[in-house]
Structures are given as structure tokens and as C-alpha cells.
Amino acid sequence: MKDAIEMDLKAEVRSILGGLGVEASVLDAGDMASFSPVTGQQIASLAQDDAEATRTAIGRAADAFRIWRNVPAPRRGELVRLLGEELRAAKGDLGRLVSIEAGKSPSEGAGEVQEMIDICDFAVGLSRQLYGLTIATERPGHRMMETWHPLGVVGVISAFNFPVAVWCWNTALALVCGNPVVWKPSEKTPLTALACQAIVKRALARFGDAPDGLSQVVIGGRETGEALVDDPRVALVSATGSTRMGRQVGPKVAARFGRSILELGGNNAGIVCPSADLDMALRAIAFGAMGTAGQRCTTMRRLFVHDSIYDQLVPGLIKAYGSVSVGNPLTTQALVGPLVDRQAFEGMQAAIEAAKAEGGIVHGGTQVTDAAPEAAYYVKPALIEMPAQAGPVLEETFAPILYVMRYSNFDDVIEQHNAVGAGLSSSIFTTDLRESERFLSAAGSDCGIANVNIGTSGAEIGGAFGGEKETGGGRESGSDAWKAYMRRATNTINYSRALPLAQGVVFDI
């Protein structure tokens, strides 16, 4: 990993951002330090937007809304089509920047940008499909229908681990639905946000007549986010991050009767049944639990293995954990890159200690220090055999730890599976139709995502994404998630010469 120390990421970041049109001076404009987890090196120091600056941005967005809501939706879709084109052109640069700023492997960095392109394509089609229903009325000579209208300013608050895709899921839908966006990215990944804003600018320039303030970025930490959360002009707050953050944001938005989409933490589990294809399960579990260094909201964190196959599957998994490559994602083919920062490393170590105290047997989990830059945190993923689901197993630790437990009874394992606070993603490995259908049924997994014979991570944009319980209940991306970005009006039109009242009520004056 020595070459990591030698890499001049600062210069590379400047070159990528400069190429996209971000002024060099912005990168030294303030005191908000930005680091690369790959080397721990500081790569920029940005000026922050305080609450007042954020309110100014919201005001500009509110002005843009008055214009944008009247632009026909297919024309709004044209802007998103252009955004998709610009993202295709910038895919290499933006993917590389994601890898530098979030520590992802090149294929994961590029994959995240691909997800942005995919959602743009989806949203362009959607711009001609914002359908409402026509409803049979009980009154003669009347017609009843519902109409979907733009909602207002959308505030997006995003997490470090999907620094650009989550913004695009929201923005592509928000724009076709007629809404401007004010985005507060994670304070750990502001540079990718500046890059996205530069890419949007290119699309806007080609589009021609979009109002100013349609897409804005505000840089800062919690205080900047709070300004979005508290402002009644922000009709929808779409907040992605920890459950802790959601507990603060959700009640505040609700108190002002705003709308929120909360995409919070996960504690995702897999169940491996006696009939499972164990080779396939092993590969899916390895990717789901170790990929992105365990820093996906959908990372597999708990694994229930049937007693009868435990000794066939788990030793192989332990071997995979022992041999997985950990290293600099920019200069090596390593499958596991760095943790985002020291706090993440300490959180992981604390969870491992807590698991030991509960009787856990730990495989891996140690820091990889050979020639790693001092300020970067690389770890061997940890597989921990647990006697029971207790202590740290019940919570999300945002690091590569997989807790493995035995089960013997299918009803019990479904109970155990659902006995945690989070409800994001889940999967079962089985070739038994009864087990898989039961898992997907009302009496099965209680998560927003339930998979069969694939892992918990790696969702596609076509489906609605999100989870239940402490994951927040929000849905983004595909299916009918667009409805959260619009307001619904029910319209009744009387084309007769009479005035019949609903429910047969008589009121003759």
C-alpha cells in the first residue's frame, strides 16, 4: 500500500474538478477540510454555507419553482435526458472522484455513476407517464379524476457512502415532477457534489431556458442540513443517513407538516436453508457483507445458517474472509478498500469487543497497517460466530462485520430475522418453494427489500428503494416512488344542468 502515500490525490482532484468547470479557488475557500479515505490525505478545504446562505438558496429555489411547475413535464424530462448525456460523458471522471472521496473500488465508483444514468433514463420515460386515475362518480353528469401537480422545493440530505447516486435518484425524479432541488451532501463527500453541480450546469446550458436556482448545492454539516429541515418553504425533505439522523429530522419536518422521505440505517440479514446452492450463497454473502468495506446501507450484517449445513458453509466463508484482498482501491485490484475515517474504525473495534463479551468467536477484524498511510483505516473484514442474536448484533455498525448464527427451526428464524429495529434489506438462500414464498409473504421478512438467492445489496433503480421500521419508511427511485415528489388533487367536474349532492344529501334553498 506504500504507493498510496505517494499518490498526489490533491492534484488529481483539482485536475478532475477543473476539467468539469469547478473553479480552483473554491477548493481552498474555507475551513471545512475534505479528506480521501484512501490515503487519509486532506484534499480540499471548502467554505461552508451557513443557515442564512442556505435560506437564500431555498428562496432562489422557491422562485424557480413558480416557473418550473408550469413547464410541461415532457419538456422537463428533456433536461433530465441532457443530464443523463452529460453524466455518460463524465462517467470516468465522476466515478474516479467517487473512488477518491468515498474510497470505493473503480468498478463501484463507475457503478454508482451508472446508477445515476439509469435513473435519468427512467425519469425521462416517467416525464410522459405522471398518470392520474379517472374514477367512477355516483353523480350523473359528473366526472371525477385525480391530477398530480409539482410539490415544491425538495431538500436532499445525503450520506457519504453513496455520495452521488442518492442525489440523482432524488433529483431526476424531482425535476421531471416539476420541483427544484437544494442538496446538502455529506460533509465527508462535498467534492463529488461540486462535480455533480458542474455536470448539471452543462445540461442546463444546453437546455436553454430553465430558471436559475433549479439545482443548487449547499456545503456544510449538520447546521446546514437543519436549515433545510426547518424551512417551511422546503416541501419535501429527502434525508439519507443514520437512524440517529432520521430521529432528529423526521419529527422536525412532521411538526411543520412538511413531507419527508427517510432512508436510514439497515441491519440486513440472510438466511441459508438446507436446500440452498451453497456455492452461490457463499459468493453472494461474501459480496454482500464485505463489498464496499461493509459501508452500504444494504450490506449483509447478520447471517442465519441452518444447523445441517453450518459446517459445510461457514468454514468456506471464514476462508474467504481470510484471503480477501484489502488495499488501496485506486492502485490495486483489492476487493476491500478503506473505512471512511477513524471514527468508523473505532466503531468497528468497539462492536467486535462487545461481540466478544457476548461470547462471539471473531475471525479477522484487525487493522491492516503494512505500509498503509497513517491517517487511513484499512481493516480485514470480520466474521463473528455468535451463540445468539444479542448485543451489537441488534444494531447497525457501519463497517464490514458479519455476525453468523445457527438456526434449526424455520418459524423461529423468521422471528429472529425480524427482531431488530431496522427493516431495509433481506435475503433467503433456498431452492424450497415453500420457504421462499413464506419469506416473501405477509408473515415473512418485514423489510422493504426481500430477495431470494441473491444477497441483500445491489438493488436496481427500477424498483422502489427503502425500508420499514427504523429505516424510516421512505421509498425512492423506481416503481411509483415519484408520487412522493408530487401533490395529488382530486377533481370533480359537473357537466350537467343539475346539482346533485354526494351521498344523496338534500339542501334546497
Pairing relation of β-strands 142-150 and 153-157? unpaired
* Residue 297 engages ligand NAD in binding (rule: CB under 6 A): yes
Question: Of all helices (H) and strands (E), which one includes residue 262?
Answer: strand 259-263
* Residue 479 engages ligand NAD in binding (rule: CB under 6 A): no
* Residue 294 engages ligand NAD in binding (rule: CB under 6 A): no
Q: State the catalytic residue, choosing from 112, 115, 263, 396.
A: 263
Distance CA 119, CA 57 (A): 25
**Distance from chain centroid for Cα 202:** 25
- Interaction mask 437-456, ligand NAD, x per CB under 6 A: --------------------
Q: Which is nearer to ligand NAD, 213 or 250 (CB)?
A: 250
Catalytic status, residue 263? yes
Contacts (Cβ under 8 Å, ≥6 apart) of 169: 115, 119, 461, 465, 476, 477
The CA-CA-CA angle for residues 42, 48, 54, to 5°, reads: 150
Q: State the catalytic residue, choosing from 297, 385, 396, 447.
A: 297
359 dihedral zone (left: phi>0; alpha: psi -120 to 50; beta):
left
Site for ligand NAD in 370-399 (CB under 6 A): 396, 398
Distance CA 9, CA 3 (A): 12
Q: How many CB atoms lie within 10 A of CB 491?
A: 11
* Residue 457 engages ligand NAD in binding (rule: CB under 6 A): no
Among 137, 248, 431, 494, binds ligand NAD (CB under 6 A): 248
Catalytic status, residue 297? yes
Q: According to DSSP H, which parts of 149-304 are helical?
A: 165-176, 190-207, 222-230, 243-255, 278-290
Site for ligand NAD in 3-32 (CB under 6 A): none
**Smallest separation (angstroms) from ligand NAD to the CB of 322:** 26
Torsion of CA 344, 349, 353, 359, to 10 degrees: 90
Q: Is the dihedral angle over the CA atoms 83, 87, 90, 95 positive or is it negative? A: positive
**Smallest separation (angstroms) from ligand NAD to the CB of 263:** 3
Distance CA 95, CA 88 (A): 11
Distance CA 49, CA 40 (A): 24
- Interaction mask 181-200, ligand NAD, x per CB under 6 A: ---x-xx-------------
* Residue 221 engages ligand NAD in binding (rule: CB under 6 A): yes
CA distance to 192, 220, 493, per residue, from 497 (Å) = 60, 60, 12
List 271's β-bridge partners, or say none.
Answer: 304, 428
Distance CA 352, CA 362 (A): 7
Q: Which is nearer to ligand NAD, 178 or 185 (CB)?
A: 185
Contacts (Cβ under 8 Å, ≥6 apart) of 93: 16, 19, 20, 195
# chain residues binding ligand NAD, by CB under 6 A: 29
* Residue 160 engages ligand NAD in binding (rule: CB under 6 A): yes
**Smallest separation (angstroms) from ligand NAD to the CB of 18:** 25
Q: Which is nearer to ligand NAD, 150 or 478 (CB)?
A: 478
Among 159, 165, 235, 447, binds ligand NAD (CB under 6 A): 159
* Residue 168 engages ligand NAD in binding (rule: CB under 6 A): no
Q: Which is nearer to ligand NAD, 159 or 414 (CB)?
A: 159
Among 263, 385, 435, 470, binds ligand NAD (CB under 6 A): 263
DSSP 43-60: EEEEPPP-HHHHHHHHHH
Using the rule CB under 6 A, give the single segment among 2-10, 20-28, 236-244, 359-367 that binds ligand NAD: 236-244
**Smallest separation (angstroms) from ligand NAD to the CB of 423:** 10
**Distance from chain centroid for Cα 74:** 26
Q: Which is nearer to ligand NAD, 170 or 430 (CB)?
A: 170
Q: Where are the beta strands (DSSP E) in 318-445?
A: 361-364, 382-385, 401-407, 422-423, 425-429
**Smallest separation (angstroms) from ligand NAD to the CB of 398:** 5
* Residue 402 engages ligand NAD in binding (rule: CB under 6 A): no
**Smallest separation (angstroms) from ligand NAD to the CB of 188:** 6
**Smallest separation (angstroms) from ligand NAD to the CB of 246:** 8
Among 38, 87, 123, 157, binds ligand NAD (CB under 6 A): 157
* Residue 242 engages ligand NAD in binding (rule: CB under 6 A): yes
Residue ranges that bind ligand NAD, judged by CB under 6 A: 157-162, 184, 186-187, 221-222, 225-226, 229, 240-242, 245, 248-249, 263-266, 297, 396, 398, 424, 471
* Active site residue ranges: 263, 297
